Amino acid sequence: MPDHDSYDKVSGQLRLEFIEDFQDRLLRMEAFLQHAQDGTMDNEEALQGFRRELHNIKGTAGAFGFPGVSMISHRFEECLLHLPSVMFGTSRIVLLYLAELKEISDAEEDIDEVRCRELLRSLPLIGKFPEADGANEKRVDTQVLEVLVVAGSGTIRHMVRKELLDFGFHVTTVPDGIVALSMIVRGQPDVVVVSGTVESMPGFDLIRALVSMKSTHNTRVAALTSFGPDHPDVLMLPEGIPIIQLEKNMKDQISKALSALEYRFL
């Protein structure tokens, strides 16, 4: 028979080791930020070191019972991806995210799903013009739509993100379908845009899964594809899924999809 006590003991020890590693990485992140602020390290070098530590936190947190930390780290990592290195040492966004992660690490407990959703909606994102004077570094309006874009291609993620930012939405992108599914269940974005090609699974399978599962069947989801409406893969999508085609008039395509999802931003 399995020794549950031994398993629990090992699991608890691994969790404690993760917490210690989490706290150590946050200290190193704070050190990289300080180096950028006092000029003892090049901004780009400090930012890259900072991002490496954050990426490791994101990658390991979920496995040790901290899925909230993983989701916040994913959002933070995306912000850093769009943050010019010259702004790294002075960005309020960096301080806000660090403070939230530090609070969780000090408590040595992950946040629950409700608090995680609240944080994801209140923490800022990098907007279309990150150089603007503070405009993109304020806490977000919780009434603004949260959109998750799932696409394997970095080019497509960037292109769709840019178009959605023009609508005033807050946009998060992810290449992996399995990671996206976890983010959708826990974060409950207002709209999900899924490309036919994503990592880990076919994108249209992700759409079918979202529609069929009780926890996600109310998710407003649109399909992103270069296929025409008569393509077999498109015809196999669940009824009522709006299609955004990868065309030059993508803004119009997005408007039509949002209208079909009962949002009126035309």
> Looking at the structure, do residues 113 and 191 belong to the same domain, yes or no?
no
Helix locations, 62-153, DSSP H:
67-81, 92-107, 113-122
Does a structural domain hold residue 104?
yes
- Domain count for the chain: 2
Does a structural domain hold residue 137?
no
> Looking at the structure, do residues 164 and 214 belong to the same domain, yes or no?
yes
In this structure, what CATH number is given to the domain that contains residue 223?
3.40.50.2300
> Looking at the structure, do residues 159 and 210 belong to the same domain, yes or no?
yes
pLDDT of residue 136: 45
> Looking at the structure, do residues 26 and 101 belong to the same domain, yes or no?
yes
- Coil, helix or strand at residue 149: strand
Does a structural domain hold residue 234?
yes
Tokens of 28: 């190193």
pLDDT of residue 103: 96
pLDDT of residue 124: 84
Does a structural domain hold residue 127?
no
> Looking at the structure, do residues 116 and 151 belong to the same domain, yes or no?
no
> Looking at the structure, do residues 106 and 24 belong to the same domain, yes or no?
yes
> Looking at the structure, do residues 106 and 182 belong to the same domain, yes or no?
no
pLDDT of residue 4: 64
Does a structural domain hold residue 60?
yes
- Domain of 35? 4-122
> Looking at the structure, do residues 168 and 238 belong to the same domain, yes or no?
yes
Does a structural domain hold residue 141?
no
Pick the last residue of a domain from 60, 88, 122.
Answer: 122
> Looking at the structure, do residues 116 and 177 belong to the same domain, yes or no?
no
Pick the last residue of a domain from 87, 122, 157.
Answer: 122
pLDDT of residue 128: 56
Does a structural domain hold residue 117?
yes
> Looking at the structure, do residues 34 and 110 belong to the same domain, yes or no?
yes
> Looking at the structure, do residues 232 and 157 belong to the same domain, yes or no?
yes
pLDDT of residue 6: 77
Does a structural domain hold residue 129?
no
Q: What does the DSSP assignment read for 193-247?
A: EEESB-BSSBHHHHHHHHHHSTTTTT-EEEEEESS-TTSHHHHTSPTT--EEE-S
> Looking at the structure, do residues 113 and 29 belong to the same domain, yes or no?
yes
Q: Which helix (H) or strand (E) is 49 found in, with range?
A: helix 43-61
Mean pLDDT in consecutive groups of 10 residues from the start of the chain, 266 residues: 70 93 98 96 96 96 94 93 92 94 96 90 73 43 79 95 90 94 93 96 96 94 93 94 88 89 53
Q: Per residue in 55-80, is it b (16+ CB within 10 Å) or e — as a string?
A: eebbebbbebebbbbbbbbbbbebbb
